[in-house]
Amino acid sequence: MLACSIDTKNYKITGRDSLVFLVDASKEMFIKGEDGEPSNFDMTMQVVRTVYTSKIISSDRDLVALVFYGTEQSKNPRNSFKHVYVYHDLNEPGAKRVQEVDALRGEKGAKLAAETIGSGETSLGDALWCCANLYSDIKLRLSHKRLMIFTCRDEPHGGDSVKDRQARTKASDLKETGVVIDLMHLMKPGGFNISLFFCDIVSPPEDESEMGLQLQPSDKLEDLQKRVRAKELKKRTLARLNLCLGEGINVAVGIYATAVAARKPGSIKLYRETNEPVRSKTRTFHTQTGSLLLPSEIKKAQYYGGKEIVMERDEVDAIKKFDDPGLFLIGFKPMEKLKLLHHIRPAVFLYPEEDEVKGSSCLFSALLKKCSERNVFALCRFISRRNYPPRFVALLPQNEELGEGKVQITPPGFNVIYLPFADDLRTLDPPQFPSASQTQVDKMKEIVSKLRFKYRSEGFENPVIQQHFRNLEALALDMMAPEEIEDLIMPKVDQIDQRLGPLVQEFKDLVYPAYYNPESKPAAKRKTADTGGGAEKKPKVELTEDELKAHVQNGTLAKLTVPVLKDACKQFGVRTTGTKKQELIDALIARLGS
Amino acid sequence: LASAASVVLCMDVGLTMSNSAPGEESSFELAKKVIQKFVQRQVFSETKIELALVLFGTDSTDNPLSQDGQYQNIRVHRHLMIPDCELLIEIENQVQPESQQGDCILSPEHVSLIPCRNLTLQAEGKKYDCLNIALLTDLNTQTNEESLEVIIKNLTQSGITVQFFLPFPVEEDKEGQGDSERRDPGHPGTGKGLSREQKKNKELVKEMMLSLDVEDGLDEIHTFRNAIEELCMFKRVERRPVAWPCQLTIGSSLSIRIIGYKAVTDEKLKKMWITVDAQSHQKDDVKRETVYCLDDDNETEVQKDDIIQGFRYGSDIVPFSKVDQEQMKYKHDGKCFAVLGFTKQSTIRRNQFMGSQIIKIFAARDDEHAGVALSALIRALNELQMVAIVRYAFNRISNPQVGAAFPCIKQDSECLMYIQLPFMEDLRQFTFPSLENKKFTPSDAQLSAVDSLIDSMMLVEEDENGEQRDLFKPHRIPNPAFQRHFQCLHHRAVSPGTPLPPIEPWLKAALDRPEVITERCQDPLDVLKRKFPLTEVEKKKKLKTSAQIFGKESEESEAKKVKEDEAEEYNLADIAEGSVTSVRIRGRAGRLNNPRRWARFCQQLTHRIEQLLSNKNTQYYMKSITCIQAFREQSVKLGNAEHYNSYLQSLKRSIPNRGLEVFWELLVQDGLTLISKDEVEGSSVSKAEANQFLVAEEKKEEAAPAPVEDTGDVDDLVSVQFLFLTFLYFYLNTCLCNCCDSNGVKTISCVSTWGVCDVLSSQI
């Protein structure tokens, strides 16, 4: 969630994200709320844990750190700062770290915290300095540096102006190196007054208009606590190529995948004894001599019409090549010519690449504007990669849409819809039925209206992946059982029934006769139902040698069934190694063919 | 040609068939093409249709009925059987025009009887659902009118259908309308110029077809050209639709029995390429094996049974056995099509369709009540412009999906169309800079240029009658990848050993802009070009040079490298730069210590250099120089100057004879002289000698013969690739193993460890 808001600022991101939690460990943080509400410290640990576990799944290459200030004990790289305790230095989060944060939660956690870190003097300046060192010790390239201060004290130094000044200087030093400092102010009796001190520490809000407007602490926390179990993906082009409108008119475009079926992350093969990862090596060798085969000693073949048709490996590639990668404009069509049926794979997105061909954005923008205005799409021939055969695509204009707070909802560009070829369409023989009467339709309309909801594409989580992540989490963190998942794509039957009430019965009365039960299976169509069970099999088809020979001669062996072929093999004493049909046929031909 | 369970092709190969007007293909050629295309289709679509080929008008006679001088000049080329590549080859090579006079040829009607009887003889015990006889002839034969009735009777009785393929249309006017624009008016053999026999037979054929018990018999008479056009594309991939019975549910108590069919799907070819040995062409000779090893110095091999699965969890890897996974994974109740709710159609974005298929949902067959119930839902959704959001699971094993069911009402059928929608995890919310940027905002003039381009390139237009005409329908075009694939397979099967043919012109044309559009858009495009300046930004070479690839690779596992090498297209230009050579040899440092191996390596390398030098072209010279450079470096490193020095000396001697002066100059420029004692102790060359070596020859200047322009691309490709592979082999497959037996013969078991023995290297 956090990363999203950052992403909108920078379009090209390289390097890793980093996040430092700077947590106040003063006595005030450990005070429990009324009605047994958890202490601020407890809540903070909860948040840290959530962020850790989210990061592990969404972007496990990001770096996180956990630093306490105002502690009794000190622990930092060079032990040059007192009352600063680096619990976790900047590194990729892992199971151990999550468990260590877990240890600080609850009643026991508070005790452990008191024992290991304790509460002592506060110097935010030192703490910030220490954090600056954490950043500078990292040799990796960092894309975002973020520091979050969790505290419930608006005057951490109790009015000590020297310490206040020191902290301000350090904060501005940090901000200069590109670190964004964020404050997560927690509940404090009497309210948290930011203007007392922290307004000078934190980074100014990104948007001018937000100045003066302070988010409620709880909102921010809630945001942080939202678990996102989805892999975050960096924006990358699938390909950069030219959209050719005509001879010499090439617009450079980048192709982006905006919706790709997410899968479970790939598994890693481990050695059973030590749990260390193993490497796999695949080699091709000659079965007879046992020698390794070089690529030049291998060819590719397909079997058709009784003949092995052999090609060189590069010929196999060459067959697929029609042209160089690119988009070639065929023409334009009115939007209604694009049918629902025209779908064979998820769409991709097109955006100009000014860096490749100067002037691309302007022509692209003009094309987008006009297509959108005239409600037409561009039909193009598309070769996405080297040695890929062409596909036809429809370029659908998509205008930029901004939501609240000028956040981009849809980016400007063309959606690329893949169109099917004749081979991709199947001819069906649809069953014919009478249409429903208007009364029946109207009743259904009532039902439909009762079950209306606003569809949001991000509203459904994939239960398979979610379950997998939770399982993994449970195993990694030694949990008793994985967290429960909510299967969002399961119909909420009770709710539906309740909303529909008597409508269902009314509809059923209109369309189904009383005796009809849609749940019951249709009468089984079994031809061999009368012969008692499966005990009696079909009479065996025994082939005579002549018949078989005729089959061999005419090449009609393939018409026989596998059991018949097997019997034939047995009958004529043909030994076969395989059980596949082709193998049986080959064996029979070898025996009887000559 | 109708798809029948069996087809007998009867082709006239007689004398008159080879007649042709100048510049036109003869009837024989056309008829042969028809047969070829037809057989080709059958072979590659692997239908179970049996084919027989009967030639008539042949010089020889070979048929079971040829007794007593009857049925002469008829050759049964092939009895009814499933067509194979052999038949294709035979048609290509053995079906030739033959020279029997027309009057000796029996009437086609007689011929048609032969296969019939033939079949009855042959097909004892076999049952044919459907028999079809296709006759390809120019009708230039003498016929016996009396026999016609007998024939018709015979055909009707045995349920045999007949098709005629003629060089001319039977009905002129009929031919005129159909696709008038496609056909040039001067259609060969139209009506005029027909011989008396042809005219007479034409009427006979007509009579016969009309009297046969077939609907509109004249439709079964085709012209050669028509048939070729229709047959030119390979059959589209056809699959029998498989019904998916299920129940559509809304809540707990409303369900409708439905069946689903895949209506659209990204169709793939049925067959995959199999790997075969280059020599034997046997797939059994090649085996692929994957082994696992620990990431230690010894690369200790691990048995497959000792491998478990793990998943990355942050910086940790969590072991997670398959059994545990199976037990803990998400489970569901199986097959399902349950409505979650309904929503406006407009909220479903076209670009968020997922998956690779569209499923049409109908009411269960023979269940009228379900039909009415589903119809009510479809119509309700259509009237409200809404869709159903459903949970769809194909079966218990497959993962459930969320998707939208759109109403679809056509004249003769109603259905729901199911399309998968994305999960939250699938979406990538990328943001892009706004195009509403002053820098990119097009001017009015620019916009109107785009406007007129769109005008000129509209593919859908209304004709005079107000009817829409679509000039370009991708969904009518067969997948070009399949067409090309079968074209190449056919070519290779029929004429092995020849390079693959170019893409067929009709296919190229089908994939291109319609000609009308190309013409119309010319001017608007010119305007557009002027209005929008487009300049390519100069960039550093983007293609990875091989050196970069290998440089990077050295960090990676060797196994992976092999894979990458295979996958990476060999970039000749890069190899020519020499980066590969040098990197390769450098990479080999330390592995060539064995003098025997070094000697062999030197021999191969010099051989390669010589090959390169046989092309007198600077590019090849540069390659050679690089090789020599690397050769020298390596020699110095190994302290073995003997091979290098002797080669260079012999090279120098041969320079004048071979006209390689230009090359020698390059060598001099790079200072690639002999290796002296100062560099390598064992060298017999002193420093002074080495320096002198390059200078001496300069005096003897001779007019170099003009370089022969012989680029020999293909050879180059082979040799450079070979060079590359040689290095690859040397780099990768040093014999590290001890398992070669005393004769240097490798046992199969030792293939799994790294390294390779002399057997293989001697093969290279």
Structure token digits, residue B645: 């020095």
- Could you say which residues from 71 to 90 on chain B have a Cβ atom under 8 Å away from some Cβ of chain A? 79-88
Q: Look at residue B147 in the predicted model and tell me its pLDDT.
A: 64
Q: Look at residue B568 in the predicted model and tell me its pLDDT.
A: 36
Q: Look at residue A247 in the predicted model and tell me its pLDDT.
A: 87
Q: Look at residue B255 in the predicted model and tell me its pLDDT.
A: 92
Residue A34: Cβ within 10 Å count: 6
C-beta separation of B350 from B298 below 8 A: no
Q: Look at residue B122 in the predicted model and tell me its pLDDT.
A: 46
- Residue contact B539–A306, C-beta within 8 A: no
- Could you say which residues from 109 to 148 on chain A have a Cβ atom under 8 Å away from some Cβ of chain B? none
Name every chain A residue with its beta carbon within 8 A of the beta carbon of B730: none
Strand partners, B351: none
- B9 phi and psi angles, rounded to 5 deg: -95, 120
d(CA A42, CA A108) in angstroms, rounded, equals: 10
Q: Does B375 touch chain A (CB under 8 A)?
A: yes
- Could you say which residues from 160 to 189 on chain A have a Cβ atom under 8 Å away from some Cβ of chain B? none
Give the length of chain B.
764
Pick A242 or B46 by higher pLDDT: A242
Q: Look at residue B540 in the predicted model and tell me its pLDDT.
A: 55
Of B177, B167, B229, B230, the C-alpha closest to B198 is B167
C-beta separation of A391 from A382 below 8 A: yes
Residue A129 pLDDT > 80: yes
- Residue contact B425–A231, C-beta within 8 A: yes
Q: What chain B residue is nearest to A302 in terms of C-alpha separation?
A: B273
- Residue contact A261–B355, C-beta within 8 A: yes
- Residue contact A315–B484, C-beta within 8 A: no
Q: Does A334 touch chain B (CB under 8 A)?
A: yes
- Residue contact A290–B537, C-beta within 8 A: no
Q: Look at residue B158 in the predicted model and tell me its pLDDT.
A: 67
Of B265, B51, B4, the C-alpha closest to B159 is B4
- Could you say which residues from 447 to 486 on chain B have a Cβ atom under 8 Å away from some Cβ of chain A? 447, 449-451, 453-454, 457-460, 470-472, 474-482, 484-485
Pick B186 or A507 by higher pLDDT: A507
- Could you say which residues from 225 to 244 on chain A have a Cβ atom under 8 Å away from some Cβ of chain B? 229-231, 233, 235
Residue B741 pLDDT > 80: no
The residue among A243, A270, A350 with the most chain B CBs within 10 A of its CB, best to mutate, is A270
pLDDT band at B722 (very low <50, low <70, confident <90, very high): very low
Using one digit for the tens of pLDDT, what is the confidence trace for B111-152? Answer: 445 545 554 444 444 445 567 777 777 776 666 666 667 667
Where is average pLDDT lowest: A35-44, A196-205, A262-271, B570-579?
B570-579
Q: What chain B residue is nearest to A335 in terms of C-alpha separation?
A: B460
- Residue contact A333–B460, C-beta within 8 A: yes
d(CA A227, CA A248) in angstroms, rounded, equals: 50
* d(CA B316, nearest CA chain A) in Å: 6
Structure token digits, residue A13: 């991101």
The residue among A229, A263, A304, A446 with the most chain B CBs within 10 A of its CB, best to mutate, is A304
Q: Look at residue A272 in the predicted model and tell me its pLDDT.
A: 85
* d(CA A395, nearest CA chain B) in Å: 10
Q: Look at residue B414 in the predicted model and tell me its pLDDT.
A: 92
Q: Does B406 touch chain A (CB under 8 A)?
A: yes
- Residue contact A279–B295, C-beta within 8 A: yes
Which whole number is the average pLDDT over A351-374? 93
- Percent of chain A clearing pLDDT 70 (strictly above): 88
Using one digit for the tens of pLDDT, what is the confidence trace for A395-431? Answer: 999 999 888 777 788 999 999 999 999 889 888 888 8
C-beta separation of B230 from B384 below 8 A: no
* d(CA B315, nearest CA chain A) in Å: 5
For residue B50, what are the CA distances in angstroms to A352, B118, B431, B633? 55, 14, 59, 67
- Could you say which residues from 262 to 281 on chain A have a Cβ atom under 8 Å away from some Cβ of chain B? 262, 265, 267-273, 275-281
- Residue contact A330–B513, C-beta within 8 A: yes
The residue among A271, A315, A546, A549 with the most chain B CBs within 10 A of its CB, best to mutate, is A271
Which whole number is the average pLDDT over A440-464? 93
Q: Look at residue B620 in the predicted model and tell me its pLDDT.
A: 74
pLDDT band at A360 (very low <50, low <70, confident <90, very high): very high
- Catalytic, A145? Answer no
B300: left (phi over 0), alpha (psi -120 to 50) or beta: beta
Pick B54 or A578 by higher pLDDT: B54
Which whole number is the average pLDDT over B724-737? 37
Using one digit for the tens of pLDDT, what is the confidence trace for A206-237? Answer: 544 444 444 555 566 666 666 666 666 777 88
Q: Does A593 touch chain B (CB under 8 A)?
A: no
pLDDT band at A142 (very low <50, low <70, confident <90, very high): confident
ipTM comes to 0.79
Q: Look at residue A324 in the predicted model and tell me its pLDDT.
A: 92
- What is the DSSP-derived secondary structure letter of residue A94? B
Residue A275 pLDDT > 60: yes
Of B377, B444, B442, the C-alpha closest to B416 is B377
Size of the A and B interface in Cβ pairs below 8 Å: 719
Pick A387 or B197 by higher pLDDT: A387
Q: What chain B residue is nearest to A409 in terms of C-alpha separation?
A: B431
- Could you say which residues from 52 to 111 on chain A have a Cβ atom under 8 Å away from some Cβ of chain B? 52, 55-56, 60, 91-98
Q: Does B702 touch chain A (CB under 8 A)?
A: no
- Residue contact A500–B513, C-beta within 8 A: no
Name every chain A residue with its beta carbon within 8 A of the beta carbon of B417: 340-341
Q: Which of A94, A261, A351 sits opposite B354 (nearest CB)?
A: A261
Using one digit for the tens of pLDDT, what is the confidence trace for B2-24? Answer: 344 677 788 878 777 777 766 67
Residue B550 pLDDT > 50: no
Where is average pLDDT lowest: A165-169, B33-37, B170-174, B517-521?
B170-174
C-beta separation of B218 from B209 below 8 A: yes
Q: What chain B residue is nearest to A359 in terms of C-alpha separation?
A: B534
- Residue contact B43–A454, C-beta within 8 A: no
Query: Given the structure tokens 């093409």, which residue do they identify?
Result: B33
Q: Which of A270, A426, A448 sits opposite B263 (nearest CB)?
A: A426
Name every chain B residue with its beta carbon within 8 A of the beta carbon of A331: 457-459, 471-472, 513-514, 517, 521
Using one digit for the tens of pLDDT, what is the confidence trace for A459-473? Answer: 999 999 999 999 988
C-beta separation of B251 from A497 below 8 A: yes
Residue A444 pLDDT > 60: yes
Q: Look at residue B598 in the predicted model and tell me its pLDDT.
A: 76
Of B549, B539, B554, B542, the C-alpha closest to B570 is B549
- Burial state string for A515-525 with b = 16 or more CB within 10 A and e = fewer than 16: eeebeeeeeee
Of B384, B370, B357, B366, the C-alpha closest to B415 is B370
Q: Does A4 touch chain B (CB under 8 A)?
A: yes
Where is average pLDDT lowest: B80-94, B644-658, B730-744?
B730-744
Where is average pLDDT lowest: A78-87, A569-578, B295-304, B423-432?
A569-578
Query: Given the structure tokens 């022509």, which residue do they identify?
Result: A363
Residue B252 pLDDT > 60: yes
Q: Does A541 touch chain B (CB under 8 A)?
A: no
Residue B183 pLDDT > 70: no
Which whole number is the average pLDDT over B583-606? 61
Query: Given the structure tokens 């460890």, which residue do they identify?
Result: B753
Q: Does B648 touch chain A (CB under 8 A)?
A: no
The residue among A10, A308, A460 with the most chain B CBs within 10 A of its CB, best to mutate, is A460
Using one digit for the tens of pLDDT, what is the confidence trace for B428-484? Answer: 888 888 888 888 899 999 999 999 999 999 999 887 777 888 899 999 888 999 889
- Residue contact B423–A307, C-beta within 8 A: no
Q: Does A536 touch chain B (CB under 8 A)?
A: no
Q: Which of A316, A432, A464 sits opposite B413 (nearest CB)?
A: A432
Where is average pLDDT lowest: B247-251, B298-302, B442-446, B572-576?
B572-576
Q: Look at residue B28 in the predicted model and tell me its pLDDT.
A: 84
Q: Which of A12, A139, A281, A307 is catalytic?
A: A12
Residue B58 pLDDT > 80: no
Q: Look at residue B279 in the predicted model and tell me its pLDDT.
A: 83
Name every chain A residue with its beta carbon within 8 A of the beta carbon of B268: none
* d(CA A544, nearest CA chain B) in Å: 12
- Residue contact A441–B266, C-beta within 8 A: no
